[in-house]
Structures are given as structure tokens and as C-alpha cells.
Chains A and B, each alone.
Chain A
Amino acid sequence: MDILNVTYMVELVPILLRYLPLTLQMATLGMALALILACGLAVVRVLEIPVINRLTILFISFFRGTPLLVQLFLFYYGLPQLMSSMTSIDGVTATIMGLTMHFSAYMAESIRAAIVGVDRNQTEAALSIGMTNAQLMRRIILPQATRVAVPTLMNYFIDMIKSTSLAFTLGVTELMGATQKEAASSFLYLEAFIVVAIFYWVIVEMLSWVQHHLEHRLNKAYSR
């Protein structure tokens, strides 16, 4: 007997491909929302807006301080109990909410650091030629902060793609859930999980390629 049933593995690929869109959808939607939320949180932290700043610190502390799985369970099982209007929340929504909150907490800190890291002299130079604060942000600070933040943000995106697999614990049949089901019916666990591992690996590798080229483009201005 062969160690691995390769035929089964090849057959599994088209089956799992059908579930790939859901995984990517949760990850991209989660990333987009997390980015927006993180920018908001970062701006609050940079400007130290009273009261909201405190709440932001608490928010970041909680979502960085507790496991993503616990947060997902809180949203999925906890929220309906809290609010009767949400008698049930579907697993996909709960996952996207969880990913958004969890990763925005991390991303807010790296965006904040990137904004603060832009050389203070350039801020003065921009003000000295008569720019408004909004122009300063848009034309000088954000383009440079983006360059600093992109590598870490891409890492979080990669992490988020892999974290979508936790949705399977909420009964969502995405890539991981589908694999689990297939494996349970064929009893070929090793084969199934090798295939799904390769799936994630390839997605992440493709993203790394994008990241590399993006960074190269953003760094053009700073090389001697």
C-alpha cells in the first residue's frame, strides 16, 4: 500500500476550490473593515482625543489580550443571548466581526507607530509652505506612513487568511470545514489535511509575492 493516496488528493483539489471563495471573502472583507477601523483607532491614539482615547486603549487591550477563538465564541454564542434581536447570528458574520475587531487592534498600533515615525521636520516644512493639516496628512504623512506600515499590515493579512479557518468551529463550511467533512467521510485524514495545508501555503506565497513588489515600489523614493 502507498503511504499517500495521491489520486484522492488530486480529486480533492476541485472540491476544495469551491470553498476557496468563501475563505477569501471573509479574509478580504475582514481586512478591509479592520483597516478602516484601525485607521480610526490610530488617529484617536495619535491625536489623544480625550475620553475616546481611553476607550480605544481599552478596546485594543481587550482584543489583543484575549484569544481570537474566545472572541469568535463570544460573538457567535454570546451576542444573541445579550440582544434578543439577534436571536441568531450566522457564523460568517460572526467570523468577519471577530477578525475585524481582533486584527484592527493589532493594526492600529502599527499604523500609529508609522504615523508618529514620519520625521517631525517634514510636518513643519509642510506647515511653513502654508499647507492645512488635512493637506499635510494626505500629501506628506500618510504616503510615508503607508510605506512603513505595509510590511506589517501584509503580515496581519496573511495571519487573517489563516485565521479564517477558525470559522469552522462556528459551523461554517469554508476551506477548513470542507476539508474536515471530506476527511471524515473518506477517513483519509492525512491526505485531506496535507491538501488544505498546501492550499493555505500557496495563497500566502502568492500574497508574499504581491507584498514584495508593493514594498519595492513604495521604497523607490528612499534608496540611494
Chain B
Amino acid sequence: MSQLQRTPLFPFYQKEGGPAARCIDFGGWELPVQFYGIGREHDAVRMKAGLFDVSHMGEFEVSGPQAESFVQQMTTNDVSRLAAGQAQYTLMCYPDGGVVDDLLVYKRSAEHFMLVVNASNIAKDFAWLNVRLPKGAELRDRSETTALLALQGPLSESILSRLADADLAALLPFHFLDGVEVCGKKALVSRTGYTGEDGFEIYCGAADAPHLWEQLLTAGEPDGLIPAGLGARDTLRFEARLPLYGQELSDTISPLEAGLGMFVKLDKGDFIGRDALAEQKTKGLKRKLVGIEMIDRGIPRAHYTVHANDRQIGEVTTGTQSPTLKRNLGLALLDIAHTGLHSEVWVDVRGKMLRAEVVSTPFYKRSKPADKGEKPG
């Protein structure tokens, strides 16, 4: 048995007097699934603000004269469209179009990029990149020394502006500022997130994370800011239809099937997986990720099978009762013939076939469509 990994904030989860964080094993990490309850934390992010410790995410640095062409070759989105100070959501694919991981690419300067990958994929991604590294590009794993806090929710800008020496109101979605001083600590602050709300992600040194965590929570308390766990992070991203690797994406699910075609730039030149994805697009998809809503009483859950005409047509990738909408919803990867809006399907809920229908996604979209900062993945 290997020891669970912990983020620099773990001591806070044990602290007397603080909220009772309940930690779980999340892909080898001991992380809080909730502090006050998923529902309350979810609502705080939708209506006010929540603070997430996502330090388990991986950060790689790619630098050198060949850095950009290397990232371009490895990812599906077009990194040449980025100016310094911009980030983009993108994917790394296998030659057959399956997904290695979904990630954010930050362009810090012409020859310096940061790749932010899923915690469970750090070793796999690093190896995948490292064996393909050309001369003129260097790859470094900074995950151990980098912490990441995500401040999410409509009041995030007002809270963070009081603590940071930068004009955050002027920071556009998917843009970032390097070397911002937040509560006296240097950080990289980007207007990104994984909740469907406005918000910021704050990358800092691991040693500075406890100070920032405490200061942010104290400063935001009058605004209703509370710490939020992985449980709320999952329900929030689900309502906004942001995919989770291992559920909506995997080595056998392509970005096109997952509905992420806008992040696959087939016309940008060659990249790994391009031929397979181009062929998928030309021939037409056999299956597609859609939203479903239960008509019968029941909640769809990951891996429940979905049926129509007495045959299995796919399975649920994520499902829950939406805390915001109170509807029993799921994302499901289904045969293309059954993906039309309002198609009737049946979900096998622990042995009972319950009726559901295909509905439009995202399930939730925030009312001020300023489109500030969410990343689909």
C-alpha cells in the first residue's frame, strides 16, 4: 500500500475549530470531498464564492525555441493563436483519437509554456510528452512545488481584488497575470475555472499556499466565501457540462464524441491524433455525449447502462440530482441514432428500467453571459 499524497493545505483539514473536512482517497490523493456539505458549498459557488484546493493538479513547464511547435504537435487546439498572457483549453490525443488527457496551456512568453494536467494523469502525461520531446524544448514537472487554489463564484473578483496588486476587473476570461502579489505572495492568477461561474485560479509556491488559503477565507468571509471540496467541484462542473477525464473522456472516447470539437483544430497542421479525428469527422460519429433527464423517479449514476428498443445503446458517464436545478440529470455516451433532443431512452437503475429523455446541455449556464473564465475540462 502506498501512502496517500497530500497537498500543502492538508493540515487545515485536520484543524480544530475549522469546518470538519471529510477527506477521501481521490486517485491516490487524500483530499476533502466536503467541508460543510456538498449542497451548501455548491450553492455558495453559484451565488457567492467558494475556495477550492486543487493543488493535486499537475503543472509542467515547456520551454525553449521548439516549445511552441512541440505543444502544437502534442495538442488538438491551436496554440499559435495564443498571445503571451493567454491560456487555452486543449486535449492530448493518441494516434487513434482517444484522449491522453485534457489540459490547459498557458503561454507565459514566446518560448515558455505551462501545461496544467489532471492529477491522476501526471505520470502518464509526463512520460507521453517526455519521449516525444524534440531538441530545443525542455520539459519540467513543477507539480510538487506548485499549489493551486481556485476561487470561484460571482463575488470572486470583488474578493480577490482586495488582496491582489493587479487590476483583476480588466483580466479577461482565459487570460492570466504572472507575478501578481496576492496577500504578499507571488502568484500566477488566471481567469479560469471548472464550475461554470466566473472565477480565478491562483498558482503559487507550495509553501505559500497555507497563508493564501487562510487569508482568502478570512477576507471573503463577509461575502459568504466558504471552502469547497471535490464533491461540489464535481456537481458544479457537471451542471456546466465540463468533462471529467475518466468519465466523459478516456483513451477510448474521442474529443469529438465528447462534444469538444471546437477545441480540435483540424486545419492547424499536423498533430497527434489528427488523421483519426479527421476521419471520424468525415465519416460521421457513431456515438455522442448527450444530456439525459429522468422522467421516472430515479437518479442516473456513472456506468449505469442506457437502453432503447430492448438493446443497450450506451452508458451514463456522470449523473446526480443537480443541486441548482433539482432535476435528476446525467451525461451519457449514446449511439448516435438516439441522441436527438427528446429521444426516449431507458436507464437501468440497479435492475429497474426507468424512462428518461435526451435534453439539451449545458444544464446550467450562468445568467450574466459575460463568458468569464470557464474551461471545459
Q: Do A and B come from one complex?
A: no
Q: What residues of chain B have their CB less than 8 Å away from a CB belonging to chain A? A: none
